Structure 1
Amino acid sequence: MKQNFTVRQGALDGVEVFLSVAQHRSFRRAAADLGVTPSAVSQTVRLLEARIGAALFIRTTRSVGLTEAGERFLSHAKPAFEELVAASEVARGLGQRPAGLLRLSVPHAVVPILLEPLIASFCQAYPEVELEIAASKELIDLAAEGFDAGIRLGQFVDADMVAIPLTPPFRLIVVGSPAYFAERSLPGNTDDLRQHACLRWRRSSGALALWSFNDNGQVIEIAVSGPFIASDFSTMLGAAIEGIGLAQLPEPMTVEGLRAGKLVHVLEPFAPVIPGVFLYYPSRRQIMPKLRVFIDHVKSRPPGHDKVPGTR
């Protein structure tokens, strides 16, 4: 089928010209109002009448009046056109200042550490923005689901997205509690994990995630086994602290537990580095002000809030 490379004329073509002529009852005054020539106005009205299939104006050498079809068209077109103008003004306002609904899809683990400390200050700074946070482990289609942006680990962000780092890269490390190691030896290499209870997490796809390691510059992945499966890193952290088994977690999540002596870091030479946590959104030529100010607000958070775990 041959493609048509021209855009067909739509129902709204010529409506603004018609309304101006109807208001002034003059083609010449309408042309002056619109900043075009009278012949351009006449041509536009003729095309509109041809497309509609009815004469809209009664023209004489001395005056211009509306036909019955013109009167009926005016009664419907005028309020509809005014609504369109108002809608354009609303959209223009959203494009020029931070306002409207800002919807974010984020992992559960990000909310208390990254977002909760910033929600109050952001809402106070930008009262015209309505902030909606949907916490979920699911990887969703932002555009299809009506989200402005999402927050995920860098390796889970699609290449066609605009991605802004919220944290520096960090390691995935294996930790266990002192109580767990009281009856077991520390693993010296990745093969030793076969002798240990390993906590696993289930991805949004339903698959159990493999543990990833750096073996002399080569990435290896290992299927581990153990008594507990979780769907987010926060739950796995709690289970590791309780001594249920070993967990592989983003290092920033483990800092407090390690410092307090609740966790022990093992297999340190094998810890891989991952890109970190990113805010991402569909590529557009112009980012909306409501999202731009949110990005700037997150970036300006105080030191200590940049160690944010992510999940899928």
Structure 2
Amino acid sequence: MVRFDDLALFDRAAALGSFSDAAREAGLLPGQASAAIQRLERELGIRLFARSTRSLRLTAEGERYLPHARAALGSLRAGQDELRAEDPELRGVLQVATPSDLGRNVLLPWLAAFRRQHPKLVLRLFMSDRVTDVFKEPVDIAVRYGPPPDASFVALPLATGNRRVLVASPGYVQRCGRPASVDDLAGHACLTYALSSRIHDRWTFFDGEQRLVANVRGPIQSDDGEL
């Protein structure tokens, strides 16, 4: 693939008649400019310059290619100038995937405020506990619980102090009693979380630095984390 910077160096080297002068103008070393031209020549499969110890001139192929290179550079620069001249305000469609409970209870007020700051932006929200595949589905930002599953993701912490609490209705406690320890949960009817045919029936607790795990079960399962 032809690089923009290589084209620019080719243009300036042709205009100045020197790799060294073109490199100096671009803030590069002469060897870097020479390597860029060689890379461009390999990509095109032609020799652009006839080199000697005292002179540098375009080959016939280089002379034919130069107008096309300059036209391409001009078009790219015109596009950059047009983008810079536009209103810098955010616009377009931003697609966000988030767990349903976090989206409704935490993110909605934030997103509403963000939308007021950027009225030309359209927000498209996907609120579901299903884990969205960011590579296969049209999602720009995905909010997840826990650490990112892929080290190549660009991830930022959103709520580092997020905690889940164990609750029971007063009627259930009156009928079945209150569990006194994590181990007692095995004898209680627990509401388990089901997602993508997997039942999340291992609950983790921490007592200081000690990690405690309870294997739970119950007659009701749900795919909604808020429930």
- Counterpart pick for 2:224 among 221, 232, 244: 232
SS in 1 for 2:143: strand
* CA distance in structure 2 between the partners assigned to 1:74 and 1:186 by the alignment: 85
* CA distance in structure 2 between the partners assigned to 1:148 and 1:196 by the alignment: 41
Number of residue-to-residue matches in the alignment: 206
- Deviation per CA, 1:90-121: give whole Å up to 9, x if none: 8989xx98666644332111122122223333
* Residue 178 (structure 2) aligns with: 187
* CA distance in structure 1 between the partners assigned to 2:6 and 2:72 by the alignment: 14
Output the aligned Cα RMSD: 4.9
- Deviation per CA, 1:188-231: give whole Å up to 9, x if none: 43455455432110245824232334568743322222221112
| Shift in CA distance, 223/20, structure 1 to aligned 2, threshold 3 Å | same
Offset of residue 73 of structure 1? 2.2
- Counterpart pick for 1:198 among 165, 190, 214: 190
Write the mapping of 1:58-207 to structure 2, written as runs, cut at 5 A: 67=60, 69-70=61-62, 72-74=64-66, 76-85=68-77, 102-127=94-119, 129-139=121-131, 149-153=141-145, 156-158=146-148, 162-166=155-159, 168-176=161-169, 178=171, 180=172, 184-190=175-181, 192-203=184-195, 206-207=198-199
TM-score, structure 2 as length reference: 0.59
| Shift in CA distance, 203/218, structure 1 to aligned 2, threshold 3 Å | farther
* CA distance in structure 1 between the partners assigned to 2:105 and 2:112 by the alignment: 14
Please, which runs of 5 or more residues in structure 1 have no aligned partner? 1-9, 58-63, 237-312
Please, which runs of 5 or more residues in structure 2 have no aligned partner? 51-56
* CA distance in structure 1 between the partners assigned to 2:155 and 2:107 by the alignment: 20
| Shift in CA distance, 71/122, structure 1 to aligned 2, threshold 3 Å | same
Offset of residue 134 of structure 1? 3.3
TM-score, structure 1 as length reference: 0.46
* CA distance in structure 1 between the partners assigned to 2:78 and 2:198 by the alignment: 46
Counting aligned pairs with the same residue, the percent is 25
* CA distance in structure 2 between the partners assigned to 1:86 and 1:143 by the alignment: 32
Contact 1:212 1:222 in 2 (8 A): yes
* CA distance in structure 1 between the partners assigned to 2:109 and 2:189 by the alignment: 35
| Shift in CA distance, 47/170, structure 1 to aligned 2, threshold 3 Å | closer
